[in-house]
Structures are given as C-alpha cells and as structure tokens.
Homo-oligomer: A and B are copies of this chain.
Amino acid sequence: MKNETLAPVVISSNDLLAQWQGHRSLTRRVIEAFPEDKLFSYSVGGMRPFSELALEMIHMAVPSVAGIITGEWKTFGESEAEEKPTTKAELLKLWDESTEKLNELFPQIKIERFQEVEKAFGQYEGTNHALIFYCIDNEIHHRGQGYVYLRTLDIEPPFFWERG
C-alpha cells in the first residue's frame, strides 16, 4: 500500500476511492430506478434529463484521475465525444467501465499528487484533491436532482445512506 502512511491521516487514498465508489454505486441504482424513456427525456424545471447528468459524471471521473496521474490533460469531454448512449443498458455499461477503470487507476495516484496544483483539462486550476472532491460533489449534487425527478414520477429513490 504505497499510498498509506503510518502517521494518522484524515483519510487515506483508499478511503477516498471507497467513498467515491460508494457514491457511484448509489448513483448506478438511481440510473436503474428511472423508467427507460424517462431516463433520456424527463426533467423538472427545464433542467437536463438524468441520462445527461450521468454522462457528465462519466466524462469527469476517469479523465480527472488519468490527468492527475499523468499530468497530461485533454479538453474536457474530448475523449468521450463519440460515445453517446441511447439506452439504459448502454449507459450502465459505460458506468460499469468507469467503475472498473477507476479501481485500476486510482491506486496509481502518488500520494504527493493530491496536494499539487494543476490546471485540470487545461482550464480549471486547483489542487488535485479539490478536483477529485469536485467530481464526487458534482455527482452528489446532480444525483440529488435525480431524486426530485424520481419523486415527481412517484418513484421511491434508493436510500441516500446505502452505498453498498
């Protein structure tokens, strides 16, 4: 465990990955909770449908971690420009590919990289830990909106505190 230190820490790199994947597991269940057509068409208050919000999460996750590892950044969304899922199964497939790739890549982030400042995607300057929290927080933010979409469709969303 090269990313773990013996001195006490707020969170380890492994903790942070577990925290993120716990949220991603919940978001996956929110995607599943949408009826197929509503996932791609329904929204409230003129916002984007949940498929678009989930796709944004996918476009942020692996490219952020890859950029932190390599220090090389593509323009945001560039590498995924061709993949636009049109069914729930396709969206979930992309989601699951991200899940596996994150598990593979995240432990490769050298511990000192978390505190370094980088211009992510060539335009967002900040520490690398702030970028990862931005990915997680943006997911929670949009997923919370998905909860409202589901409620207005009379569908009970999964429990917020269940992350398994």
Contacts and interface: CB of A to CB of B under 8 A. Distances in A.
Interface of A: 5, 7-13, 15-16, 19, 23, 44-47, 111-112, 114-115, 127, 129-130, 133-134, 137-138, 140-145, 147-152, 160-161
A47 B140 CA distance: 17
What is the oligomeric copy number? 2
Contacts of A5: 5, 7-9
Contacts of A160: 138, 141
Contacts of A130: 19
A10 B7 contact: no
12 contacts: A5-B7, A7-B7, A8-B111, A8-B115, A9-B10, A10-B15, A10-B111, A19-B130, A19-B133, A44-B148, A45-B150, A144-B144
